[in-house]
Structures are given as structure tokens and as C-alpha cells.
Amino acid sequence: MTGQQQTSPGEMFRFGIMGAGGIASKFCSAVKLIPGVMTAAVASKDLGRAERFAAANGVEHFYGNYEEMLDEEDLDAVYIATTNNFHYENVLLCIARRVPVLCEKIMFVSAEEAEEAMRLAAEKQVFMMEAMWSRFIPCVQKARQWVEENQVELTWDKLLGQYYGETVSGSGQQYIWMEEEDSMKLKIDLIKEFDLAGVACWKLGFEPADIWDIVSEVK
């Protein structure tokens, strides 16, 4: 099933999204800032959730099935924003259809999953990348410095479970979400409660040192 907005795709680069949560919404906002790029479709296991997400984020089509989106849409790439324990099977769906993949971190929960996905991607010549945006920006400490220098007031974002702030400067409106002890503990509690995955990537050094004690509690 699909829902429609008045959009003319033309030669636009068309993203599809698997998963209709908060981080996927932020991805849609980022896509809108890039000329020639659009979010064309979203899929969720819950059709109603996908429909609401599409309406809120200006997405043309919505689906209640990942395979249906991949088969019906002419997508240039798929952004995977499901929970970590489903990443592997979602990635394989894309690779099987030769659709390039940008998967939210952590991409896989074991070396075996990573090796098999890399083998299949190479075999079918499909682009596959982990959305480790921390690799492309300064450290979290630099973000804290920016908050202090610009006197940004941070408030708790209940949807994402992080502190959020915004300010206006000569370059326009600027936004920031900060990872710190409270937000990390919330994520760790959810991982334990629902038996998810994704702790190992936080031990790579991208997060501030004062949360390492929290992360190290998970084995």
C-alpha cells in the first residue's frame, strides 16, 4: 500500500527507509538539505506506523512490508534504521535485489554476519556502508565546546532519549543532540531489556570518556 504527496522525482537520487522510528525521521530531515536527493518511500512492519511517518516527513510512499518496498520502488539506495538485531536480515534483502545499503550502526552483531554480508555484497557488486557518522565529524568533546561557546541551552528530547539544543547564527539555524551519561544509560537499559545488540561500537572511542564506565557494564 502506498500514500502520495505531490512530488516530481525527475532525476532525483531516491532513498528508501526501513524502519519508521526517531532516527529515521532525523535522516529524512538531513536528506531534505541535500540538492538532488529525496526520501521516496518508507517501510515498517506496522503499516499504520509507516503511514504516520510518511505523513509527518513528506515521504511519497509507505509500506507495511520491507520486501514490497524493495520490489515496488525504483530506489537508488536504502537506509536501514531498524533495531540492531534485524540489520543483518534487512541488509541481505537489499543485497539480494542489488540495492545499495546505508545501514545504521551497529551494522551487524557478529563477525560471521559481517563477513557473509561483505562476501555477498562483493559477489553482487553492491555498495554497502555502515552509517558511522562519527567518522566524518569532530569528536564529542568538540561538540561540548561548541555548546559552551555558543551558550546553547540543552533540553531533554523524550523521543530520542538525548539532550537537544538549537541556536541561530550567521549561518542559520543550528541543532545539536548530545550523547552523555543519561542518554547512554537509557540505551544500555533498553539493550538489556530487549536483548538487543550494539554496545561494542561504543568502545571504539567515539564517545566521551566519562561514559565508558557505563558501557563497560555490558559484557
Supply the DSSP string of 46-101, one letter for each residue. SHHHHHHHHHHHT-SEEES-HHHHHHHS--SEEEE-S-GGGHHHHHHHHHHTT--E
- C-alpha distances in Å from residue 119, one per residue of 35, 58, 109, 126, 219: 33, 36, 16, 10, 28
pLDDT of residue 198: 63
Residue 137, pLDDT above cutoff 60:
no
**pLDDT for the residue 209:** 59
- Supply the pTM of this predicted model: 0.65
Delimiting residues of CATH 3.40.50.720 domain(s) in the chain:
13-131
Tell me the pLDDT band of 112, cut-offs 50, 70 and 90. very high
**Superfamily for the 13-131 domain:** NAD(P)-binding Rossmann-like Domain (3.40.50.720)
| DSSP annotation of 32 | T
* Strongest mean pLDDT among 52-61, 124-133, 165-174: 52-61
pLDDT at 7 over 70: no
Indicate the pLDDT class of residue 45, thresholds 50, 70 and 90.
very high
Mean pLDDT score of the chain, rounded to an integer? 84
CA distances from 33 to 1, 5, 30, 66 (A): 28, 18, 5, 26
Which of these is catalytic: 105, 185, 203, 219? 105
pLDDT at 8: 47
Least confident of 5-19, 112-126, 168-182: 5-19
- pLDDT category at 200 given cuts 50, 70, 90 is low
> Residue 31 pLDDT more than 60?
yes
- Mean of the pLDDT values across residues 91-114? 94
As a whole number, mean pLDDT of residues 43-69 equals 96
Give the pLDDT of residue 140.
66
- The phi and psi torsions of 6 (rounded to 5 degrees) equal -85, 90
**Residue 99 confidence (pLDDT) above 70:** yes
> pLDDT band at residue 3, thresholds of 50, 70 and 90?
very low
Q: Is 105 a catalytic residue?
A: yes
State yes or no: pLDDT of 59 exceeds 50.
yes
